[in-house]
Amino acid sequence: MLQVKPPNVAALTRSQMWPAGIFAAGALAIFLPTMIDVARLTWTTEQGGHAPIIVATGAWLVWRELRTAKPRVMPGKLAVAGALLGIFLITYVVARITGILEIEGFAMYASILSGIYLLVGGAILRALWFPLVYLAAALPPPDTVVAAITQPLKLLISSVAVDLLSALGFPIAGTGVTIQIANYQLLVAAACAGLNSVISLSAICLFYAYMRHRSDWRAFLVVAALVVPVAIFSNFIRVLVLILITYYFGEAAGQGFIHEFSGLTVFLVALLAIFGADALFTRLYRTQGTADGR
DSSP assignment of 174-195 equals EETTEEEETTEEEEHHHHTGGG
Written as one string, the DSSP assignment of 45-69 is: SSTTTTHHHHHHHHHHHHHHHHHHH
pLDDT of 202 over the 90 cut: no
End-to-end CA distance of the chain: 66
pLDDT at 33: 95
The reply to whether 192 belongs to the active site is yes
pLDDT (tens digit per residue) in 136-188: 989 988 877 777 777 778 888 888 888 999 999 999 988 866 888 888 888 76
Three-state helix/strand/coil letters over 231-254: HHHHHHHHHHHHHHHHHHHCHHHH
Cβ proximity of 243 and 165 under 8 Å? yes
pLDDT (tens digit per residue) in 232-270: 888 888 888 888 888 888 878 777 766 566 667 777 888
Candidates 14, 192, 286, 294; catalytic one: 192
The pLDDT-based confidence of 22 (bands split at 50, 70, 90) is confident
The reply to whether 205 belongs to the active site is no
pLDDT at 16: 59
Give the SS3 label for residue 172: strand
pLDDT at 200: 74
pLDDT of 7 over the 60 cut: no
Which amino acid is present at 177? V
Tell me whether strands 184-187 and 178-181 are parallel, antiparallel or unpaired. antiparallel
Between helix 129-136 and helix 51-69 the angle, nearest 10°, is 170
pLDDT of 48 over the 60 cut: yes
Candidates 14, 96, 238, 283; catalytic one: 238
Beta strand residue intervals within 39-147, DSSP E: none
Q: Which stretch of DSSP H or E encloses residue 173? A: strand 172-175
Mean pLDDT within 113-132: 91
C-alpha 48/C-alpha 50 separation (Å) is: 5
pLDDT at 212: 84
pLDDT at 275: 85
pLDDT at 147: 72
Task: Give the residue from 189, 186, 155, 195 showing the smallest Cα distance to 255.
Answer: 186
Mean pLDDT within 16-39: 87
Across the chain, what does the average pLDDT equal? 81
Highest mean pLDDT among 17-21, 22-26, 255-259 belongs to: 22-26
pLDDT at 186: 80
pLDDT at 242: 84
Cβ proximity of 87 and 237 under 8 Å? no
pLDDT at 108: 97
The pLDDT-based confidence of 34 (bands split at 50, 70, 90) is very high
Give the SS3 label for residue 145: helix
